[in-house]
Every structure is written in structure tokens, then in C-alpha cells.
Amino acid sequence: MVTKQIKELEVTKAKIVALEKSIAKRLHKELSTLHDKYGFGSLQEFIRALKGSSGPGSYKPARKVKAPKAASKVKRRKRAIITDETRASVKKLVEAGKTGSQIAKSLGISLPSVQNIKKAQGLVKARA
């Protein structure tokens, strides 16, 4: 079973190599006749024309696309003021078995604020 798949892989790889060679051959042919397509007598004339068209003053860098203004106006939350009442509420909720994220939601403060309060009150177990 695996040997059959390996053989299929080898056949596919051979097809890819043949396709790459075919593309390279067609690309070479198209590029070598490109000057005729645009009305130039030789490849050198065509190259000179290309170089001349990209000379000083002809280069214009692409414009940067700015993000929509609506996306840049994100409302920010006001900073929570941590009072003694907030600290007492955190302590009660910890003793009631609530998680940090539950406490943060119920009090309208961030999780890091809850963690800082718990740490300051000694409600966090030390890591071993």
C-alpha cells in the first residue's frame, strides 16, 4: 500500500519537473519575442526603452492605504478606582469561592486588579 503511494509520488514529481521545464521553455520563447510585440527592432532597443521609462522622475511609489477611521476610534474603559470597599468585596467573594474572573466581572474591575488585591491581602497561595 505504501509502496503504491510512493510510486504515485514519484510519478507526480516527474510530472511537476516536466511541467516546470515546459513553462520555462514557453516563458523563454515569449520573453525573447517581447520586443517584437511592442514594435522594437531588437531586444537591446526594448531594454533601453524600459530603462529610460524607469529613469529619474518616472518612479512613483505606491500609496499607502490607510485604515478606516472608524476602526481607529475604539472606546476605552475608564480606570476603576480601587477603594477599601472594593478590597473588602474582593475578600468576601474569594472566601465565597468565586474565581478571579467572576470577581472581576461582578465588581467591574480588571482581573489583574483582582489578583493584585488578593496578593496584597495575602489571599494567594505561594508557589512551591
Q: Write the pLDDT tens digit of every residue in 97-118.
A: 999 999 999 999 999 999 999 9
**Quick check: is 99 in a domain?**
yes
**Quick check: is 12 in a domain?**
yes
**Quick check: is 62 in a domain?**
no
The number of domains in the chain is 2
- Enclosing domain of residue 99: 84-120
Cell numbers for 83: 477603594
**Quick check: is 29 in a domain?**
yes
Cell numbers for 90: 474582593
**Quick check: is 43 in a domain?**
yes
**Quick check: is 64 in a domain?**
no
User: Could you give the angle at the alpha carbon of 72 between the alpha carbons of 68 and 77, nearest 5°?
Assistant: 150
What's this model's pTM, rounded to 2 decimal places?
Answer: 0.41
Contact, 109 vs 86, CB < 8 A? yes
Evaluate if residue 72 carries a pLDDT over 80.
Answer: no
**Quick check: is 72 in a domain?**
no
